[in-house]
Amino acid sequence: MDDPYQVQESLSKLKEEFEIALAQANTAGEVELVRVKFLGRKSPLAAHLKQLGVFPPDQRATVGKELNVLKTTFENKVDEKKQARLSQSVLPAVDVTLPGLVHPLGRLHPVTQTLQRLLDCFRPLGFEVVEGPELDYEFNNFDALNIPRDHPSRENFDTFFVDAPSPEPKKGKLLLRSHTSPVQIRVMQSRKAPLRIVVPGRVYRPDPLDASHSFMFHQVEGLMVDDRTSFTDLKGVLAHCLQRLFGPSTKVRFRPHFFPFTEPSAEVDIACTGCKGSGCATCGRKGWLEILGCGMVHPNVFRAVGYDPRRVQGFAFGMGVERIAMLTHGIRDIRLFFDNDLRFLSQF
Ligand code: PHE
State which of 158, 254, 259 you would mutate to test the pocket of ligand 1, scoring each by most atoms of that ligand within 8 A of its C-beta: 259
Relative to the CA of 294, which ligand 1 atom is closest? 10
CA distances in angstroms from 180 to 82, 85, 98, 250, 264, listed in the order given: 66, 66, 52, 26, 19
Residue 262 near ligand 1, beta carbon < 6 Å: yes
Q: What is the mean pLDDT of the chain?
A: 91
Long-range pairs of 254-259 with CB within 8 A, sequence gap ≥ 24: 257/293, 257/295, 259/293, 259/295
Is the per-residue pLDDT at 182 higher than 60?
A: yes
Is the per-residue pLDDT at 267 higher than 90?
A: yes
Ligand 1 centre distance from Cα of residue 222 (Å): 9
Relative to the CA of 203, which ligand 1 atom is closest? 4
Is the per-residue pLDDT at 109 higher than 90?
A: yes
Confidence of residue 156 (pLDDT cuts 50, 70, 90): low
**Each residue of 35-63: pLDDT tens digit?**
999 999 999 999 888 888 888 888 888 88
Residue 294 near ligand 1, beta carbon < 6 Å: yes
Relative to the CA of 184, which ligand 1 atom is closest? 9
Q: Coil, strand, or helix at residue 165?
A: coil
Confidence of residue 94 (pLDDT cuts 50, 70, 90): confident
Query: What average pLDDT does this structure show over 285-299?
Result: 95
Q: Is the CB of residue 225 less than 8 Å from the CB of residue 194?
A: yes
Cα–Cα distance measured from residue 145 to residue 138, given in angstroms and rounded to the nearest whole number:
10
Q: What is the pLDDT of residue 90?
A: 54
Q: What is the pLDDT of residue 39?
A: 93
Q: Is the CB of residue 241 less than 8 Å from the CB of residue 196?
A: no
Confidence of residue 128 (pLDDT cuts 50, 70, 90): very high
Going by alpha carbons, the residue nearest to atom 2 of ligand 1 is 318
Going by alpha carbons, the residue nearest to atom 7 of ligand 1 is 318
Q: What is the pLDDT of residue 239?
A: 95
Q: What is the pTM of this model?
A: 0.71
Helix extents (H) in the chain: 4-24, 28-39, 44-50, 57-90, 110-122, 138-141, 182-190, 231-246, 299-304, 321-329, 342-345
Q: Which domains does the chain have, with CATH numbers?
A: 4-88 (no CATH), 112-130+183-345 (3.30.930.10)
Q: What is the pLDDT of residue 25?
A: 87
Ligand 1 centre distance from Cα of residue 266 (Å): 10
Relative to the CA of 319, which ligand 1 atom is closest? 5
Is the per-residue pLDDT at 91 higher than 60?
A: no
Identify the weakest region by mean pLDDT among 85-94, 226-235, 246-255, 274-283.
85-94
State which of 140, 179, 188 you would mutate to test the pocket of ligand 1, scoring each by most atoms of that ligand within 8 A of its C-beta: 179
Residue 181 near ligand 1, beta carbon < 6 Å: yes
Is the per-residue pLDDT at 319 higher than 70?
A: yes
Confidence of residue 87 (pLDDT cuts 50, 70, 90): low
Confidence of residue 9 (pLDDT cuts 50, 70, 90): confident
Confidence of residue 235 (pLDDT cuts 50, 70, 90): very high
Identify the weakest region by mean pLDDT among 95-104, 111-120, 214-223, 330-339.
95-104
Confidence of residue 89 (pLDDT cuts 50, 70, 90): low
Q: What is the pLDDT of residue 100?
A: 84
Residue 291 near ligand 1, beta carbon < 6 Å: no
The angle formed by the CA atoms of residues 23, 28 and 34, to the nearest 5 degrees, is: 50
Residue 316 near ligand 1, beta carbon < 6 Å: yes
Of 284 and 228, the structure prediction assigns the larger pLDDT to 228
Relative to the CA of 318, which ligand 1 atom is closest? 7
Q: What is the pLDDT of residue 2?
A: 55
Identify the weakest region by mean pLDDT among 1-15, 58-72, 152-166, 209-223.
1-15
CA distances in angstroms from 184 to 35, 145, 180, 201, 290, listed in the order given: 77, 9, 8, 13, 23
Relative to the CA of 178, which ligand 1 atom is closest? 4
Burial label for 89, CB within 10 Å (0-12, 13-18, 19+), is: exposed
Beta bridge partners of 201: 219
